[in-house]
Copies of this chain bind each other. A is one copy, B any other.
Amino acid sequence: MRASRPAVHPVEAAPPPPAAAAEGPEAQVEGAAHPRGVRMKDPPGAPGTPAGLGLRLAQAFFAAAALAVMASTNDFPSVSAFSYLVAAAILQCLWSLLLAFVDIYALLVKRSLRNARAVCIFTIGDGITGTITLGAACASAGITVLIGNDLNICAENHCASFETATALAFISWFALAPSCILNFWSMASR
């Protein structure tokens, strides 16, 4: 059965075109670091790129900061929404750190993460953690506004800590959104 065609033909190596030589030594060094056919062109922010790793580390950092600020108050377990924020921040932090390690591995071995199944798992996980983080941040924001603006009982509560933790959770969600959109785009456009 001839289901596939040979990908490599034993032909003589052609001399490099003059255009590549005219680009100077920098283009040649880049061509040597990324051999053709091995690493596909990933958009910035996609998994396996330095920007994607930066987004993951930002998500994990802001989720951990939200967790730390919220857990530093002693009365957060009395409000369900704040406990939910702590749980969501832990989940977000673990998920982002896991994907950051995957990104670091892909960068170290110089491999692309454009595997269909991996991108599908990343997209579904990003969607679920993003929805949970956004929900927790919005619930905390609702309580914070109720305490601070509607009831004016900030004197008896740690309003500053609650507001900071909520804002950090929102920032973590804003860092997650590009990852999720890029993963979904890369899954749909193949």
Interface residues, chain A, with chain B CB atoms under 8 Å away? 78-81, 84, 131, 134-136, 138-143, 145-146, 149-150, 184-185, 188-189
Q: How far does the Cβ of A114 sit from chain B's closest Cβ, in whole Å?
A: 14
Please tell me if the beta carbons of A80 and B146 are within 8 angstroms of each other in the complex.
yes
Q: Please, which residues of chain B bring their CB within 8 A of the CB of A188?
A: 184-185, 188-189
- Report which of B80, B131, B140, B142 forms a contact with A150, defined as CB distance below 8 A: B80
Number of copies: 2
Please tell me if the beta carbons of A79 and B139 are within 8 angstroms of each other in the complex.
no
Complex CA–CA separation, A139 to B134 (angstroms)? 10
**With A138-B142, A139-B138 in contact, do A150 and B189 touch (Cβ < 8 Å)?**
no
- Report which of B80, B146, B184 forms a contact with A81, defined as CB distance below 8 A: B146
**With A134-B134, A150-B78, A189-B189 in contact, do A142 and B145 touch (Cβ < 8 Å)?**
no
Complex CA–CA separation, A121 to B121 (angstroms)? 27
Complex CA–CA separation, A78 to B184 (angstroms)? 40
Q: Please, which residues of chain B bring their CB within 8 A of the CB of A150?
A: 78-80
Complex CA–CA separation, A78 to B138 (angstroms)? 18
Q: Please, which residues of chain B bring their CB within 8 A of the CB of A189?
A: 188-189
Q: Please, which residues of chain B bring their CB within 8 A of the CB of A140?
A: 142
Task: Identify 5 new A-B residue pairs, CB closer than 8 A, beyond the known A80-B146, A135-B138.
Answer: A84-B142, A138-B138, A142-B142, A143-B143, A184-B184
Complex CA–CA separation, A185 to B84 (angstroms)? 31
Please tell me if the beta carbons of A79 and B146 are within 8 angstroms of each other in the complex.
yes
Q: How far does the Cβ of A81 sit from chain B's closest Cβ, in whole Å?
A: 4
Q: Please, which residues of chain B bring their CB within 8 A of the CB of A84?
A: 142
